[in-house]
Amino acid sequence: MKQLRLIFGVFALAAGLFVPAGLAQKSPAPAPVTSPAPSAAPSGASTPVSTASEPMQPSGERVLFLTGRVATSDSTALPSDVLVERVCNAQVRQQVYATLHGDFSMPLGSTPNPVIDATADPGPQNGLPGNSSVTGIPRHELTKCELRASASGFRSSIVSLVDLDTFGGTVNVGAIVVERMAKIEGATLSAVPYKAPNDARKAYEKGLEAVKNHRLAEARQHFEKAVEIYPKYAHAWYELGSVLQEQGVEDQARAAYRHATAIDTRFLPPYLSLASMAYEAQDWTEVVALTDHILELDPWNHRDFTGYMVDLDALNYPEAYFYNAVANYELDRIDDAEKSALKAQHLDLRTNHPQLHLLMAEIFAKKKDYASAISELQTFLQLLPSTKQAVQLREQLAEWEKLSGSASTNEKPDPQ
């Protein structure tokens, strides 16, 4: 356990897996572990999917198609770009677009590269080979998978594939229900930036253009001019902090971020940048304080409201939950750490942050839940098989497997 804790600390901190949110938009980030992007959404697909043209179903326990529909909880219309995702072991394995009526049909194992097939309609017209090449997926492998819908402004229910109670090559999973979300009171866009005088706004826009062209010194001058003209310009203070941080002037960057938070407590990006700096400094109490503020305003934490959600602040919530989870773990608040880590995993749809599985492995091991720890560590090694810590992590995996076997042996048999 001590060995893995050291590995996790080195991996998460020294490897620089997380960069401040402000800098992520200013310079290229390392390529994350992602699933291939889907193709463009179908236009005008307005009729339910028919399975009449589906290939012949082979005998045996293999599933060729997962079919069903996506529906809103209030029976209103769906947006035109609803994706249905098959997630296995916390990884997005396949995506298809639903039709405008919400119907979908997901062909399984029927292409040379079956990771993604972003079309709702089955059949050769979508690039699928003929009947002879359709292989399907063994039914037992789907027990590790679930289906969910992805659409901006909606929260999806989860359909587990553990209990497939129908047989044959085509399985209808029923309805995936999505619920419209609304920004909570206090998390709406601030009007402060729009109160800035024209000269301040022009300087701010010139600063953004300079950042876009990697002219940091020029950008700094423009942002400094913007806040000089309008000292309550929170967005300009934040951008100034981002430039200063990228220039390596961390004390001044921190001061600029603090200015932004003092002006507008609902403007969250500077809080995340401050949290990232505290994270690098291993100031865990500060990390928790900053990220708790972010998570309190995260609309996905509030389930007692309805309506349509427009997320006006582009914030990396998985990153905030990750910082919160690590900080709570370091402060020995294991339950809080687990809660935040699980939330980060749920929001990290593209598996951009595989180190979450390493953290969860350590949390489960500390709780002596070695079976779950093994599963998380195996998932991490599948996502990053060439990590420099692979040898140590596999040694830890072997140790947990021994402990798990010993725990199973010591369990008393149930009374007959």
- 10 Å CB burial of residue 192 (0-12, 13-18, 19+) is middle
Indicate whether 327 pLDDT > 80: yes
H helix runs in 283-316, sequence order: 284-296
Indicate whether 101 pLDDT > 80: yes
pLDDT band per the 50, 70, 90 thresholds, residue 274 = very high
Mark 121-136 as b/e (b = at least 16 C-beta within 10 Å). Answer: bbbeebebeeeeebeb
Strand, helix or coil at 358? Answer: helix
pLDDT digits (tens, 9 = 90+) for 42-77: 444 433 444 334 444 444 478 888 999 998 887 788
d(CA 21, CA 100) in angstroms, rounded, equals: 35
pLDDT of res. 253: 96
pLDDT of res. 114: 37
Q: Are 404 and 376 in contact (CB under 8 A)?
A: no
d(CA 84, CA 38) in angstroms, rounded, equals: 11
Give the residue-averaged pLDDT of 311-325: 75
Q: How far is CA 4 from CA 89, 320, 379, in A?
A: 21, 23, 15
Q: Which residue has the higher pLDDT, 314 or 267?
A: 267
Torsion angles phi and psi, residue 79, rounded to 5: -70, 170
pTM metric for this prediction: 0.57
Instruction: Give the number of other CB atoms < 10 A from CB of residue 44.
Output: 8
Helix (H) / strand (E) containing 258:
helix 250-263
**Residue ranges of the domains in the chain?**
62-180
Give the residue-averaged pLDDT of 393-398: 91
pLDDT of res. 246: 95
Residue 359: which residues within 8 A CB-CB, separation 6 or more? 8, 12, 322, 325, 326, 329, 337, 341
pLDDT of res. 9: 55
Indicate whether 20 pLDDT > 70: no
Q: Which of 43-47, 225-229, 394-398 has the lowest mean pLDDT?
A: 43-47
Q: Which residue has the higher pLDDT, 298 or 139?
A: 139
- Token pair in block for residue 42: 């179908």
DSSP state of 45: -
Torsion of CA 269, 270, 272, 278, to 10 degrees: 170
Indicate whether 193 pLDDT > 90: no
* Nearest residue to 225 via CA among 246, 210, 247, 245: 210
Indicate whether 6 pLDDT > 50: no
Compute and round to an integer the Cα radius of gyration of the chain.
24
Q: Which residue has the higher pLDDT, 35 or 404?
A: 404
- Token pair in block for residue 251: 């004390």
- Token pair in block for residue 18: 């997380």
Give the residue-averaged pLDDT of 361-375: 90
Q: Which of 34-38, 87-91, 123-127 has the lowest mean pLDDT?
A: 123-127
pLDDT of res. 410: 53
- Token pair in block for residue 221: 């001058």
Give the residue-averaged pLDDT of 179-191: 53
370-383 and 355-366 helices, crossing angle to 10°:
170
Give the residue-averaged pLDDT of 366-376: 89
- Token pair in block for residue 41: 């959404």
d(CA 363, CA 365) in angstroms, rounded, equals: 5
pLDDT band per the 50, 70, 90 thresholds, residue 166 = low
Indicate whether 182 pLDDT > 80: no
Give the residue-averaged pLDDT of 192-204: 83
pLDDT of res. 137: 84
Give the residue-averaged pLDDT of 77-104: 84
Q: Which amino acid is at 205?
A: E
pLDDT of res. 93: 83
Give the residue-averaged pLDDT of 397-412: 72
Q: Which residue has the tokens 């994706």?
A: 83
- 10 Å CB burial of residue 402 (0-12, 13-18, 19+) is exposed
Mark 94-112 as b/e (b = at least 16 C-beta within 10 Å). Answer: bbbbbbbbbbbbbbbbbbe
Arithmetic mean of pLDDT over the chain = 75
Fold type of domain 62-180:
Immunoglobulin-like (2.60.40)
Strand, helix or coil at 51? Answer: coil
